[in-house]
Structures are given as C-alpha cells and as structure tokens.
Structure 1
C-alpha cells in the first residue's frame, strides 16, 4: 500500500508539473483601442461641439468664442524633415465619442511632452479619456507608435473658465518599448514671451472637408494680433477641423523641418473665414510647460 500510494503521488506530481510547464493555451494580445479603423473614424473635435457658433453680436457682449474646427489651412507639407516626425494626430474620447486633434513633441526634461490645444485635453468641463498621440500619422498607420498619455494638463485659465486666450494643453506620454517619445521622434524647440506679429508656420492634420486627416497640412506667412475678442496670434489660413492643437513655429527652416514652437491652432470666427488664431505663449503657458516636463 505504501508503494502504491507513493507511485500515485509521483504520477500526480509529474502530471501537475507537466501541466504547469505546458501552461494554459496562448491568449491573443488585447486589441488596441485605437485601431486603424477607429483612428480613421474619429471625428474632428469641433464637429462634436453642439453650441451655436460665435457671432459678431457676441463680441459686443464680450462672450467667449466657441471652438470651430480651426485652424484654417494651406497645402500638404512635402518638405520632409523633423516636423514629419514630431507633429502628429491626437485621438481621444470626448463624452464617449471618438474625436481627433493635432499635437507636437517638444524638447523637455522628461522627454515625453506633447503640446496641443486646451480643448484637445478638456472641454465643457470634461477631461478627455483614452488619449493617445500618434506622431507622423499616415492614413491609419502609426509609423512611430501610439503614445498613451500618463497625464494631461492645461492652463489654470482654460481649466477654470475655458478662456480662449489660454487654450493650450499638454500631455505627458508613457514610454513605449522602453523608450521616451523624443528619443524616438526628436523634438522641436519651444519659446515663451516672444515678440508678436512675426512670420510663422502652422501645421496640423485637418480632417473635415475638403481634408480627410491623412496628410500633414501647413500654412505660412505674416501674423497679426486678434483685434476682436482675444489677444491671440492670427494668420491667413483655411485648415479645417482636426487641426486644432497643431504647432505654430517661429524661425522655421524648411530645409530641416525644425523650428521653435510658440503657439497652437486654436479657433476661428465664423464670420471671418480663411483666418485661424492661436494663443500667445506667455508666462502662464511657460508655467504649464514646467509642470509637464517635471511630471
């Protein structure tokens, strides 16, 4: 009996070890939330905003401008260079709906900061979820990966009252495959409290007609200061929805695709088509940047 019991115990142990070594059947990796199909289906942020558009009468009353698919754009960027890696599309859920904006990777202490518009991280009291940055986006493809946000931040003025003068947001993204964002795609410079009314370049991924979100679009030219409601930069440009949050550069070199970011695509007036507006990067935005790069 003792030998039989011993043999049974050995067989049981061997079978248990065999099952342990074999393990359970292999499980497929979970499907990413932002599949190519989901990214193509994302709606430009402005199209999900139901509030009536801002009118000249609102200016007289001093009411806030409503976000409106801005910026307004030019042509497809064919110059190559750094901007084709640092600029990208931003995807997120706004009240459960798939939405898109644009963004840009900038130099930072943590190598993980993306600059975008404030309404591309929080709008109408709601912080967006499932937020990812896709640098170099190409028609549903993510050549440099998808970078989920660890945290998203905005200026105190935008967070409290969605003041259009401070429509700036930033995200700190998680490492991907053990690497930091700017180690993979590079980084653009960033500057604050710069002189106004300079020539600038603006980039974004407009996704509303006549654009479809597949290409990086740009505008360039002289800027002026908004004379209606805000103190924002303004530029003649006709990009459409989805390009909000894309970078505006000073000292941009077409030969290298590199510049110094000093604003983002923010909003437009319905009664003034063909122009886009971007917030001034002053001390409050600099403080936001310092928070982001320390996060």
Structure 2
C-alpha cells in the first residue's frame, strides 16, 4: 500500500483526538485495495466489516467523531501537480438557477431535496472515530455517495466502519445509516494525495430492502463545466464554531484558485467535518436541487474563511462512472 502523500498537509486532529472519543471496534483483517485500471482506486468492504459498521455508530459515537480537516501550508501548496482542466462537458440531470446570495456560512433553513441527499460520513481513521460529509447522487446503481478523497483514504490507509447518514440531525439518523460495500477514490489521490483530485465515492448497501436514492432522492452532476460559477456549498462542519449537529451552507460567486491548485474557490467559513460536502451550480433554493460540480476539500493555513474544492473533470467523471457501475 502506497504511503506517499502531499507534503505538508496538516490534519487538525491531534487535539481533537486527545479526549472524549469512543474507542474503535476490534480490528478486522482489511480487504486488499485494488486499482481498477486508470478509472479509480477501489476497496471492497467484507460482509463481516459491513455487519460491524451497522452496529458501531451509536448516537454518542457520532456526536464524538472528530472532524477530518485538510489545511495546506505555503510549502505544501507548491507541491501539487496542475492538471489541465479540459475535456468534453457532461451533465447528469439538469437543474435550475440559484436565487439569492452571498452567504459565508449559516444553517440551511430552506428545506428541499438537499436536506435529505446531504449527510454526515462516519468512519474509523487511525483507530479513532472521525467524520466528513457527503451527498447522494444520481447513479445507475441508485447507491452512490460522492465525498472527498481524504474521507475514504488518507495517509496510505483506507478508512473502516464507513457509513453515510443522510439528513443527520444531532445524533439522529432519520433515514438510517447506510453502510459502504465499496469505497473509491481517484488514482491521483490514491498514489500521491494530489489535492487537485481529492474526490472520493462510496457504494452503499440497501437498507430494509431499498436503495439509497429511492429513499432520500439524488442530486445531478456536471463535469467539465468550467470555472467562475455561482455556487452553493453544503456540509456538516464539526470544528469550532460549529459542532456537526446541523447542515451548514455557503453561497456566492466562485473563482479559480489563483495560488497553487486548479480548484474552485469560494468565500466560506465552514470548518473540519464539512470535507466531502457538495458544491452545486444551478442550485434552486425552492427545490433544494442543483448540479454537483465539486466537494469541500481544503483550506490554506494563511487564507482563512476560504474553501477550495476540486474541479470535476475527466478524472472525477471516470471515478463516478466506476462507482455507479459497482
């Protein structure tokens, strides 16, 4: 298993892991991760691990899960390669235009589909409970969640006890906990944790005989849609001043990162735990629907209140195609 990673990425977990977290379940032998050609790196979750994950996440453990957070220093920021964001534009299910912004970070009170498609992601990382965010998307298997790459694999290790909790509400799971059968990330993130390709996905098992999106709905996606769009970003930040109990959103005119990556950039004060939450263009506040074009990924240590998200180009499209076919 490769252990190369983007130099200098800071994981804000040391203090958070210092106390108050529930111990992880006993270790199980992990399935061997495999790279599926050039489209995605994939890990299959064994039936035994799925059974463990289904009972592992109590309300107390969910509340106590530490937020996973990426912060780049100036030295680390200079390291990522810069891919050319080109390719043929592709859209999966159209959406409508947004109606109001900007917002730098506030609870989402608008209702609509985004309330049920967005959720918290919980997993075990380095023997401790941790959290990110994710979103249910339109897919052939009706079971695909899009998140950040570091929310499925980080520092050379795939996360375990991985579940998606749509519409999470302060320890409550109104639509249940959906256990991953497979987790995936881009080859670039798997090989060297290239921040330009910090995209992940999970395929979740049916719950009570139904697939994920038949229960919570699904958002559309857009690939190779360009930069400088009006965007809405959502997530469940769990580091101060937030506590992970509610869905938070930011909105405004995005731009292309003018510093060290090829990512989208948006004024936003969401903190750790929001990683993997969706970015939408063409978002309609009345229906809570839009086209997902990115995920919350990282921030620079020297540039507060600014969120960055990877460009969904051909690499992200290949990952999505592999996930929806799994």
How far apart are the structure 1 equivalents of 2:293 and 2:64? 30
Q: Which has the higher helix share?
A: 1
Does residue 251 of the first structure (1) align with residue 282 of the second (2)?
yes
Alignment match, 1:109: 140
SS of the residue corresponding to residue 190 of structure 2 reads helix
Residue 195 (structure 1) aligned to one of 226, 230, 249? 226
Q: Deviations over 1:109-161 (max 9, x none)?
A: 00000000000000010000000000000000000000000000001100111
Structure 1 unaligned residues grouped into runs of 5+ = 1-28, 66-71
Does residue 38 of the first structure (1) align with residue 54 of the second (2)?
no
Residue 303 (structure 2) aligned to one of 272, 275, 291? 272
Alignment match, 1:293: 324
How far apart are the structure 2 equivalents of 1:57 and 1:163? 14
Q: Which has the higher strand share?
A: 2
Tell me if structure 1 keeps the 8 A contact 2:80–2:261: no
User: What is the number of residues matched between the two proteins?
Assistant: 254
Q: Deviations over 1:216-257 (max 9, x none)?
A: 000000011011111000000101110000000010000000
Does residue 168 of the first structure (1) align with residue 205 of the second (2)?
no
Q: Which structure would you say has the larger Rg? A: 1
Instruction: Note the C-alpha offset of 1:188.
Output: 0.3
Q: Following superposition, which runs of at least 4 residues in structure 1 exceed 6 angstroms of deviation? A: none
Alignment match, 2:248: 217
Residue 55 (structure 1) aligned to one of 65, 73, 89? 73
Tell me if structure 2 keeps the 8 A contact 1:153–1:171: yes
Alignment match, 2:293: 262
How far apart are the structure 2 equivalents of 1:73 and 1:125? 33
| Distance change >3 Å, CA 212–CA 157, structure 1 → 2 | same
SS of the residue corresponding to residue 214 of structure 2 reads helix
Q: Deviations over 1:91-119 (max 9, x none)?
A: 00001110000000000000000000000
SS of the residue corresponding to residue 194 of structure 1 reads coil
TM-score normalized by the length of structure 1: 0.83
Q: CA RMSD in A?
A: 1.8
Q: Deviations over 1:254-276 (max 9, x none)?
A: 00001110000000001000100
Does residue 144 of the first structure (1) align with residue 175 of the second (2)?
yes
Q: Deviations over 1:27-86 (max 9, x none)?
A: xx998200001100100012xx8xxx5333444xx2259xxxxxx950000000000000
